[in-house]
C-alpha cells in the first residue's frame, strides 16, 4: 500500500507496494538503546520495556566493533521473540544480516536500495532524516519508515543540529511517503505534539536509558500514545 501521509497508514500494516508484508510494530514506540547512558544493564532495560508493552527495539551501540555488536544483538533476540517484538540494529545492512535481526536502521544518506537488496523483502528498513528534502527522497517501495531528529532539544545527542520542532515535523510529515517517527527530546508531554504534527509514532532513547524506573517511563509513554492516538495500542 502506497501512502501520501504517514497518518493514513494503519499501524501494523505494510507501507510498501512491492508485494512483501513487512509490518510496523504496534504500538508505534521504538526504543533505541545506548548502554553508555543506561543506569542498569542493557538487557534489564530492554526486558522491562518489553514486559511493559514495547514491541520495537533498535540496538544502537555504534561505538562497539562489529564482532561485539553481533553477539549483543543475538543475546537480545530471544527476549524480543518471546514478546512478539521486533529487533533492529543501527548500522549497515551487512551487520543486520550477520546478527539475524528483523531489520536495519540506516544512517542519513545511506543507499537504502542496496540495503533492501542485501536483506530481502521480509526485513524492516528505516532511515534517519533531518530535513524535508531527505524525507522526500525516500522510496516507499524500499524504505518502511523514517526517523526524524532531533525533534526537540535532547541530552542524548547534543551537537546533532538544531531541533526540528513541531513546525518542522509537520512539514516533513506532509512530504513523507513513509511513516515518520520523531526522536530527540521525546517525553509524555511531547508525544501529543508530534502525533498532532502528523508523525506516525515516536522513538526514545535517553529518557528510558537514564530513567531510574525504565518500566514506568515506557508505561507512561504507551499510555500517552493510547490517549492521543487510540489505534496505536
CATH of 27-153+161-228, one of 3.90.79.10, 3.20.20.70, 3.40.50.720, 3.10.50.30: 3.20.20.70
**Cα–Cα dist 93/184, whole Å:** 24
Which residues in the chain belong to E strands, given as ranges?
29-32, 56-59, 86-90, 103-106, 124-129, 145-148, 180-183, 201-204
**Cα–Cα dist 174/167, whole Å:** 11
Residue showing cell 521525546: 186
DSSP 38-64: -SS-HHHHHHHHHHHT--EEEE--TTS
| Half-sphere exposure (Cβ direction) of 183: Cα atoms closer than 13 Å | 28
Write down the pTM of the prediction: 0.89
- Which of the four pLDDT bands, split at 50, 70 and 90, describes residue 21? low
Segment 118-155, tens digit of pLDDT: 999 999 999 999 999 999 999 999 999 999 999 998 77
How many Cβ atoms sit within 10 Å of the Cβ of residue 34?
A: 21
Residue 43: the pLDDT is 98
Amino acid at each position: 500500500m502506497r501512502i501520501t501521509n504517514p497518518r493514513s497508514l494503519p499501524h501494523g500494516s505494510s507501507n510498501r507496494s512491492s508485494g512483501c508484508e513487512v509490518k510496523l510494530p504496534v504500538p508505534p514506540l521504538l526504543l533505541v538503546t545506548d548502554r553508555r547512558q543506561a543506569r542498569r544493564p542493557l538487557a534489564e532495560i530492554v526486558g522491562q520495556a518489553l514486559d511493559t508493552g514495547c514491541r520495537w527495539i533498535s540496538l544502537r551501540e555504534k561505538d562497539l566493533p562489529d564482532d561485539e555488536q553481533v553477539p549483543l544483538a543475538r543475546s537480545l533476540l530471544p527476549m524480543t521473540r518471546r514478546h512478539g517484538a521486533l529487533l533492529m540494529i543501527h548500522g549497515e545492512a551487512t551487520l543486520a544480516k550477520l546478527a539475524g535481526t528483523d531489520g536495519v536502521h540506516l544512517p542519513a544518506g545511506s543507499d537504502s536500495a542496496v540495503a533492501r537488496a542485501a536483506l530481502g523483502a521480509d526485513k524492516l528498513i528505516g532511515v534517519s532524516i533531518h530535513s524535508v528534502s531527505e524525507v522526500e527522497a525516500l522510496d516507499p517501495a524500499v524504505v518502511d519508515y523514517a526517523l526524524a531528529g532531533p525533534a526537540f532539544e535532547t541530552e542524548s545527542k547534543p551537537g546533532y543540529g538544531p531541533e526540528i520542532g513541531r513546525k518542522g515535523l509537520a512539514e516533513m510529515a506532509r512530504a513523507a511517503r513513509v511513516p515518520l517517527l520523531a526522536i530527540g527530546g521525546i517525553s509524555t508531554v511531547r508525544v501529543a505534539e508530534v502525533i498532532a504534527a502528523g508523525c506516525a509514532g515516536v522513538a526514545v532513547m535517553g529518557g528510558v536509558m537514564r530513567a531510574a524506573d525504565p518500566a514506568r517511563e515506557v508505561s507512561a509513554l504507551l499510555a500517552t500514545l493510547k490517549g492521543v492516538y487510540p489505534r496505536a495500542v
